Amino acid sequence: MNKAELVNTIAEATGQTKVQVQNSVASMLHTLTAALAKGDRVTLVGFGTFERRQRQARTGVNPQNPNQKLKIEAAKVPVFRAGQELKDIVDGRAKHAPLPKLASSSAAPKKKAAASKAKPAAKKAAPAKKAKKKKK
């Protein structure tokens, strides 16, 4: 699954627009990245933990020329550790419930407000459209 497929799936499940979901996903990833860059740990209970670790400098081997040694510099790298619930679902020890169709809290009031505005306008316009027939 890529990012676009993720956005489509979430949009269908929540009833939000793809733009709203795209903005939410982008914001989440940006926040996660910023926290890791600062050195913070991000824990999503049941899913897993993202953290930054320091990788020490080491000596590697050039795969094209095994006799040549390469110096690999120290680096800070992101690491993900899966939570127990995620591990159990992936392994098949636990069932993954299908994503329920969620109602969008922001979309529902707009539909009700629009419907209530439309009904009175239709009632006012209806009598004006009626024409009286003349008797002969």
Task: Identify the residue whose tokens are 């619930």.
Answer: 85
125 domain residue, yes or no: no
**Is 132 part of a structural domain of the chain?**
no
Task: Quote the CA–CA distance of 10 and 21 in Å, as a whole number.
Answer: 7
Answer positive or negative: Cα dihedral of 119, 120, 123, 126.
negative
pLDDT tens digit sequence for 47-96: 999 999 999 999 999 999 989 999 999 999 999 999 999 999 999 988 87
Examine residue 81 and state whether it is found in any structural domain, yes or no.
yes
| Residue-range definition of the domain harbouring residue 46 | 3-120
Residue 58 lies in a domain: yes
- Look at residue 10 and tell me if it is in a domain: yes
Within-domain flag for 130: no
Residue 12: CATH number of its domain: 4.10.520.10
Q: Given this model, what pLDDT does residue 102 score?
A: 62
> What value does the mean pLDDT take over residues 2-29?
94
The verdict on residue 133 lying in a domain is no
Q: Are 60 and 70 in contact (CB under 8 A)?
A: yes
**Alpha carbon distance 113, 127 (integer Å):** 24
Q: Answer yes or no: is 128 within a domain.
A: no
For the residues of 58-77, what is the DSSP string, one character each?
Answer: EEEE-SS-TT-EEEEPPEEE
Q: Which two tokens stand for residue 86?
A: 């995620």
pLDDT above 70 (res 27): yes
Whole-model pTM?
0.64
Domain count, the chain: 1
Q: How far apart are CA 35 and CA 90, in angstroms?
A: 27
Name the residue with higher pLDDT: 111 or 76: 76
Q: Answer whether residue 111 shows pLDDT above 50.
A: no
Contacts of 9 (CB under 8 A, 6+ apart): 1, 99
